[in-house]
């Protein structure tokens, strides 16, 4: 189990092992859900379509529809087009 500490300002540094496992980078969006027995779950939030705007370069314009998911996933993983 990985442990993090809450600061007096309510901030937590996500441990490097967790950031790496979920491919989290600066600006990554996270959702938290509270479920039974006071258990909290952290969910990575996928970027909206508008946040992905511009994530594909002009040389990928003719990409086939079945390759689009791969191109979007690659752009997200590389941190492009999220800002």
Is residue 2 within 8 Å of residue 17, measured between CB atoms? yes
Between 82 and 63, name the one with better pLDDT: 63
Is residue 71 within 8 Å of residue 59, measured between CB atoms? no
Please tell me the pTM assigned to this model.
0.49
Give dist(CA 8, CA 17) in Å, integer.
23
Phi, psi (deg, nearest 5) at residue 33? -125, 140
Provide mean pLDDT across the span 1-24.
90
Closest by CA to 2, choosing from 11, 19, 12, 15, is 15
């Amino acid at each position: 189990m990985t442990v993090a500490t809450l600061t007096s300002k309510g901030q937590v540094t996500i441990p490097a092992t967790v950031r790496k496992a979920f491919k989290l980078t600066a600006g990554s969006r996270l959702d938290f859900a509270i479920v039974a027995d006071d258990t909290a779950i952290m969910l990575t939030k996928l970027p909206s379509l508008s946040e992905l705007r511009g994530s594909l370069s002009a040389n990928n314009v003719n990409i086939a529809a079945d390759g689009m998911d791969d191109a979007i996933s690659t752009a997200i993983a590389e941190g492009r087009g999220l800002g």
